[in-house]
Amino acid sequence: MQVVLEDVGYAYGDLPVLDGVSFTVGEGETAALIGPSGCGKSTLLNLVGGLLEQQGGRIATMGTVPAGCLNPLTFVFQDFALLPWRSVAGNVALALEHHPLGRAEQEARIASVLQLCGLTDFADALPKQLSGGMRQRVGIARAIAVKPAVMLMDEPLSALDAQTRELLMEDLIAIWARERTTTLYVTHNLSEAVRLADKVVVLSRRPGRIKRIVSVPVPVNERQKPEHIGLLQQLHDELWSLIKAEAQVADREMQHV
C-alpha cells in the first residue's frame, strides 16, 4: 500500500508547524523523515496515522490491504507505550483481542511474532522486567501482529542506548527482509535514516517544508558491505550539511509551547 501526501499543512493555534508537504511512500518502501527538532516530523506522522485531525492538504493511502491485516496504519512509539500491567504476550494480545480472530488464530499470531522478535522466552514477563531494547521489541511485535499495511514508526530507537539501537536496527532489517511493509520512519538520527531507509525526506525547520528527498541507492541488506560504506558516508555528510544550518537556527529559537 502506498501513502500519498499532498500539500499538507498544520498549525498549533497560531504556530504553523507544517507547510505544503507533498511526497509519496511507495509500496513496500521505507521512507525516513528527518529534520531539526520541532520541525513537525511527529505531527506529520500523527496526521498520517489519523491521531491528529487534518487541517489542510490531502493524505491518502492507495492500493490493496494485505491479507490478514487488522489495522492498516499501525504505530511503533518512541516510548514503547506498553501497558505495564500486561505481560509481553498480553500487550501483543491487546492489538488483537477486539478483532474476531478466534482464540487459536490469536494465539498463533502472538506466538509467531514473539518468535520473530526473539521474545518467546519472555511471553509472561511484565514490561518492568525488560530492558529498553526488549520493550521496543514488544512494541514492534505488537505492530506486526496486526499485519499492518503501513508502519508508522515515531523515533522508535531514540529512547535506547547506542548498542541496543544497533541491535534493533539489525532486527528491523531482518524483519523487513521477510515482509516488506510500507514504512514511514521518523527519526532525528541520520545514521538510522541512512542505514534503514530507501528514501530520506528532509524537512526544514519550523514550519516544516520539504527541503529535499534523497534516495539511498544501496539495498538495505547490503549497506554493511565495505564497498558501500564510502558512498553511504558521503550521503550522511550531504544530509548533515542540509540539516546543520537549519538545526543551528532551530536550536537558538525560543520554545513556543
Partner 1 sequence: MSDPAKTPVSFRGAGFVPGTRRWAPWLAFALIIACWESASRLGWLPSLFMPAPSEVMNALHALLVDGKLLVHIGASLKRIVSGWILGSIAGVTLGFLMGIFVLARSVGLPVVSALFPIPKIALLPLFILWFGIGEPSKVATIALGVFFPTVVSAFSAVDNVPRNLIRMAQSFGLSTRMIVFKVILPGAMPGILAGFRISTSIALILVVAAEMIGADTGIGAFVLAAGNLMQIDQLIAGVVLLSLLGLTVSALLSVTEKIVLRWR
C-beta pairs of 227-232 under 8 Å, 24+ apart in sequence: 232/194, 232/195
Which window, 9-17, 122-130, 210-218, 244-252, contacts partner 1 (CB under 8 A)? 122-130
Separation CA 92–CA 251 (nearest Å): 38
For residue 35, give the nearest of 256, 217, 244 by alpha carbon.
244
Separation CA 200–CA 215 (nearest Å): 6
Which window, 27-35, 68-76, 102-110, 221-229, contacts partner 1 (CB under 8 A)? 68-76
Q: Give residue for cell 491521531.
A: 51
Nearer to partner 1 by C-beta: 151 or 235?
A: 151
Q: Residue 81 interacts with partner 1 (CB under 8 A)?
A: yes
Nearer to partner 1 by C-beta: 36 or 156?
A: 156
Separation CA 30–CA 156 (nearest Å): 14
Give Cα 197 distance to the centre of its chain.
Answer: 10
Per-residue x/- marks for partner 1, 141-170, CB under 8 A? -x---x------------------------
**In the complex, least distance from residue 48 CB atom to partner 1, rounded to whole angstroms:** 11
Among 101, 126, 159, 169, binds partner 1 (CB under 8 A): 126
Separation CA 86–CA 124 (nearest Å): 9
Terminal-residue alpha carbon distance, the chain: 35
**In the complex, least distance from residue 79 CB atom to partner 1, rounded to whole angstroms:** 6
**In the complex, least distance from residue 35 CB atom to partner 1, rounded to whole angstroms:** 22
Which window, 6-14, 72-80, 206-214, 217-225, contacts partner 1 (CB under 8 A)? 72-80
Give Cα 147 distance to the centre of its chain.
Answer: 15
Among 4, 11, 51, 123, binds partner 1 (CB under 8 A): 51
**In the complex, least distance from residue 247 CB atom to partner 1, rounded to whole angstroms:** 26
CB atoms within 10 A of CB 142: 26
The sign of the dihedral angle between the CA atoms of 78, 84, 88, 91 is negative
Q: What residues between 83 and 112 interact with partner 1 by CB under 8 A? A: 83-86, 94-95, 98
Question: Where do contacts with partner 1 occur on this chain (CB under 8 A)?
Answer: 49-51, 70-71, 73-75, 77, 79, 81, 83-86, 94-95, 98, 126-128, 142, 146
